[in-house]
Amino acid sequence: PSMLRSPTLMKGYVAVFVCFTTKAVHLELCTNLIREAFLAAFARFVARRGFPSKIMSDNGKTFIGAQRAKQFVEFMKQVSPGIIQKYAPQGINWQFIPPSAPHMGGLWESAVKSFKSHCKKLAGNLKFNYEEFTTLLTRIEAVLNSRPLSALSQDPSDFA
């Protein structure tokens, strides 16, 4: 969670979406851990990127602090059926990895690590309002996605 600057200080959460084919990263800001906030973030993702055929996500136990694990487990119990019911008609196959298998989420955990690294370097301990933080997320997303999709060749004739 990141701190958002508003009339009252509030936490913000970042939903990280990673394409398993191109490893493209999409970041969406969620204002809290309720079903509606996540579904709104997912709707923004789908509106910008299109409907994915398959989504894999974890249940959060691997990186949530012990003091908030129970709260997050309750959140996932609330969200999971709603997500599956809402998006199954669009052909989205939503799968949750087992709680004891965090290695199955290595691709998105790598994206989370990269995001956190960039966010700490750029933002430090600064506080942001919603618009500022959304802009920061978009800029970090652009940096994470501005890389070659394949290995670069050293042969000059490949550039012709």
Regarding predicted confidence, which is higher, 129 or 153? Answer: 129
Tell me what the mean pLDDT of segment 95-119 comes to: 80
**Amino acid type, 145:** N
Confidence band of 62 (pLDDT split at 50, 70, 90) = very low
Q: Please indicate, yes or no, whether the overall pTM of this predicted structure exceeds 0.85.
A: no
pLDDT digits (tens, 9 = 90+) for 67-95: 344 455 566 566 666 666 666 666 667 67
Chain centre to alpha carbon of residue 89: 23
Residue 41's pLDDT is 85
Range with the lowest mean pLDDT among 5-9, 16-20, 92-96, 104-108? Answer: 5-9
- Distance between CA 2 and CA 16 in Å, rounded? 14
Residue 32's pLDDT is 81
Tell me what the mean pLDDT of segment 3-11 comes to: 68
Q: How many CA atoms lie within 13 A of 75 on its CB side?
A: 18
Confidence band of 143 (pLDDT split at 50, 70, 90) = very high
pLDDT digits (tens, 9 = 90+) for 9-51: 778 889 889 888 888 999 999 888 777 787 788 888 888 988 8
| Whether 4 contacts 13, CB under 8 Å | no
Residue 125's pLDDT is 87
| Whether 18 contacts 111, CB under 8 Å | yes
C-alpha gyration radius of the chain: 17
What residue ranges define each of the domains in the chain, with the CATH number in brackets? Answer: 2-62+73-147 (3.30.420.10)
Tell me what the mean pLDDT of segment 121-132 comes to: 88
- Distance between CA 38 and CA 24 in Å, rounded? 20
Residue 67's pLDDT is 34
Chain centre to alpha carbon of residue 67: 22
- Distance between CA 134 and CA 29 in Å, rounded? 6
Residue 42's pLDDT is 83
